[in-house]
Amino acid sequence: MIPFDVIPAYLLTGAVAGFFAGLLGVGGGVVVVPLLTVIFAGQGFPANEVMHLALGTSMATILFTSISSLRAHHAHRAVLWPVMRDLTPGVLVGTLFGAMLAAGISSRGLSIFFVGFMIFVAVQMMANLRPKPSRNLPGRGGLGLAGSVIGTVASLAAMGGGALTVPYLIWCNVRPHQAIGTSAAVGLPIAIGGSIGYVWNGWGHPGLPAGSLGFIYLPALAVILLASVLAAPLGARLAHRLPVVVLKRIFAGLLLVLSSKMLWSLYGS
C-alpha cells in the first residue's frame, strides 16, 4: 500500500512530466527519473536499487504516454511509418540490451550516465541546436543499426528517445515535423522493449519494495499516469501561446536543477 503522505509527491511528478511533455514534446523521463530518485530515497528504498526503480518506473510511464502521442501525430500525418518500421527491430534489441546493462550497473554508475545525458539534453535546448540536413536516410540495415543505438541509450536513460531520434532524422533530411512525429511513434517500441527488460531483469530481485513488478514500482506508476494525463493537455494548449525557445531554456535550467538534486539525494552527506 502506498503511503498517503507520498501521494502528493507522485502527483506533482506526473503533473510536471505531463505538462512539459505537452508543452515541448519531451519525454517524461527527464522529469520523472530525477524526481523519483528523490522520492524513493526519502521512502527508504534500498540505496543500490533506487536508480533502477526510478528508471524502470519511468520507462513504464512512457509505454502509456507514447500511445496518445503517437495517435496525435498520426492524425496530423506526421509519422513516416516505413522509417518507424525499419527502426523498430534495432530499437527493440537496443532497449532490451540497455535494460540488461542497467541491471548490472550500480546506482552510482547509472546516475552518472543519466546526469550526463540530462546535461546533453539541456545544452541542446538552451542553444536550440538542430543539426543541418546533410545526407539521406540509409537503407533498412542502416536504420536498424541507428535504432539499436537509440534504443540502448533510451533504455539506460529511461526516455522516449526523442533527444536522439529527432536530431538523427533531421540530419538525414527528414522534415522537422515528420522527425518529431516519427520519433513519437518510435517511442512506443522503445517503451515496450525497455519495460519488458526492466521487469525481466528485476524479477525476483531481493530487497525490492512491495508493489514492484521487477524494477517497476506499480503504485508510483499509477499515480504518475493519472496526473500526467490530466496535465498534458494544458501544456499542449500553452505551447501555441508562449515563446517556445524561452520555455526550452527554462526547462533546460529545470533539468540541471533536478539532476543536481538527484545526485545530492543519493550521495550528499
Contact 22, 29 (CB under 8 A): no
Provide the pLDDT for residue 268.
61
Provide the pLDDT for residue 27.
63
- Nearest 5°: phi and psi at 216? -105, 120
Angle at 192 between CA 190 and CA 198, to 5 degrees: 95
Q: What confidence tens digit (pLDDT) does each residue in 195-238 have?
A: 999 999 999 888 899 999 999 999 999 999 999 888 877 776 77
Q: What confidence tens digit (pLDDT) does each residue in 146-168 have?
A: 999 999 988 888 777 777 888 88
- Segments making up each domain of the chain, as ranges: 4-267
Locate 223 and state its grid cell.
499515480
- Nearest 5°: phi and psi at 240? -90, 0
| pLDDT higher than 80, residue 135 | no
Q: What confidence tens digit (pLDDT) does each residue in 9-67 have?
A: 999 998 888 787 766 656 667 788 888 998 998 899 988 889 899 999 999 998 887 77
Provide the pLDDT for residue 80.
92
Chain position carrying cell 523498430: 88
pLDDT, greater one: 121 or 13: 13
The distance of Cα 241 from the centroid of its chain, to the nearest Å, equals: 25
Q: What is the pTM of this model?
A: 0.81
Residue 88 pLDDT grade (very low, low, confident, very high; cuts 50, 70, 90): very high
Contact 165, 183 (CB under 8 A): yes
3-state secondary structure of 216: strand
